[in-house]
Amino acid sequence: MGSTIIRNWDRTRSWRPRATYHPVDETGAAEVVRQGAEQGRPLKPVGGALSWSDAPAISADAMRFDRMARIVEIDAGRKRVRVQAGARLSSVNQALAQHGLALDNFGSIVMQTVGGYLGTGSHGTGGRTPILASSVTHLRLIDGLGEVHELDDAHEPELFSAARVHLGCLGVVTEVTFQCVDAFDLEERLELVDLETALADLDRIVDDNDYVKLWWLPYTNEVQVYRFNRTDRPRTRKTFNERLDASGVSSIAFAGLMALSRTFPGITPRMNRSAQKISFKPRVRIDRSDRIIRYAGSIPRHQEAEYAIPRERAATAIDEVRRAVLAADYRVNFPMEIRFVAADDIPMSPVSGRDSCFVGAYVGSRRWAGPYFADFEALMADHDGRPHWGKSFSRTPQELRDLYPRYDDFDALRRRCDPEGVFRNSFVDRVFPA
């Protein structure tokens, strides 16, 4: 047990817990939860603390999982991997590759712990591929009274289904088993496409490729279209620009440009257009699947809001955000990211019951984040947008209830799992008010 300041990734939020626990096994973690319930002390399990939202907010005590981060078992025959909740996705990907396996859905960032990644419903991209939580086959979870539950489709199926996107309020996830696929390589093709053309062809672009993402640098007329497809062709060698990205030099340069644009907002459109021409040239590269999808370099600190909207509304919504940015007084100095995810059946997943497009509004300025996100959220509300739980959002409980058909069922399950309110924090209070 120890105590120190815990900060989120972009250092916009920080907490000083009364105590921070680092259990070495499930028994120790359960005992910490039992003590919290008996003594009336809130406890927040915290993974990588990468969230921009207050999902990891700490009211009293914290629990970290740096000592529960093992790859427990890889079953190559059944194509499954069992890991502790503190395992980083980067470690999971590497271990699977050594056994000829891979995850079928992965994000562009791999610093997250497994428990935190699932808890916020985090995702990658792929119009036919659901979020990573959908590939979970088993979970071990400690409820708010310190009782351990082993969950799958046959054992407490309601709790199992909900716990795959648990929002940090059903209990402490200690172990997760994923269904994997055979390892595969991806070919990435980056093209610059006229934005209006890309929006008109959006369905075809998504349907014709295994994975797709789009980046639009505000004030430019073209969008970066990334197409990813399985391939048996030889892997390509890293280019000079890729080596710069991996070394962090490109990130430092981009961070410097963002700082300059914060000081001199008027240069932002010109800066974005120059960055587009210099850094985002058409290319083709081939490598291991997770290496292609993930962002290889370090990412400059910035703020994010992201919403999942019905896929059929994607082109209209993206164009509306573009028009709002161009008409605004603030300046957006970071790309807007657009990704696609297949529907799932998880109660509080942002893509529950509908194929979705995730639209990400990102900006490298705390001053501009407020007005930009306000405009963005208003537009997303017009399209029944559901917020990414780990990113900035301000939806009310009633709005969330309207967006999630099984909101009340999840809330009732939450109350049963945590009758003493051990896992409550500011995030839970505003999503599920007492």
CATH number at residue 5: 3.30.465.10
Statement to judge: residues 193 and 177 lie in one domain: no
Statement to judge: residues 173 and 212 lie in one domain: no
Statement to judge: residues 118 and 217 lie in one domain: no
Q: Which of 8-17, 228-237, 250-259 has the lowest mean pLDDT?
A: 250-259
For 120, the 3-state DSSP assignment is coil
pLDDT in tens, 347-388: 999 999 999 999 999 999 999 999 999 999 999 999 999 999
Statement to judge: residues 286 and 419 lie in one domain: no
Across the chain, mean pLDDT equals 94
Structurally, the chain folds into a number of domains equal to 2
Quick one: pLDDT band at residue 242, thresholds 50, 70, 90?
low
Statement to judge: residues 87 and 194 lie in one domain: no
Quick one: pLDDT band at residue 332, thresholds 50, 70, 90?
very high
Query: Among 387, 406, 426, where does a domain finish?
Result: 387
Domain extent for 247: 185-387
Statement to judge: residues 327 and 402 lie in one domain: no
List the CATH number of the domain containing 211: 3.40.462.10
Collect all residues with Cβ–Cβ distance below 8 Å to 10 and sequence separation of at least 6. Answer: 52, 301, 302, 303
- Residues of the chain with pLDDT > 90, as a percent, come to 84
Does the structure show a pLDDT above 80 at 168?
yes
Statement to judge: residues 207 and 345 lie in one domain: yes
Statement to judge: residues 178 and 211 lie in one domain: no
In this structure, are residues 303 and 366 in contact, taking their beta carbons and an 8 Å threshold?
yes
pTM of the predicted model, to two decimals?
0.95
For residue 352, what are the CA distances in angstroms to 165, 249, 253, 394, 395? 11, 39, 39, 20, 17
Q: How far is CA 111 from the centre of its chain?
A: 11
In the chain, how long is the greatest CA-to-CA distance?
60
pLDDT in tens, 45-98: 999 988 999 999 999 999 999 999 999 999 999 999 999 999 999 999 999 999
Quick one: pLDDT band at residue 4, thresholds 50, 70, 90?
confident
Statement to judge: residues 355 and 241 lie in one domain: yes
Statement to judge: residues 157 and 243 lie in one domain: no
Quick one: pLDDT band at residue 255, thresholds 50, 70, 90?
confident
Statement to judge: residues 138 and 173 lie in one domain: yes
Statement to judge: residues 334 and 380 lie in one domain: yes
Burial 268-296 (b: 16+ CB within 10 A, else e): bbebbbebbeeebeeeebbbbbbbbbbeb
Query: Among 387, 404, 425, where does a domain finish?
Result: 387
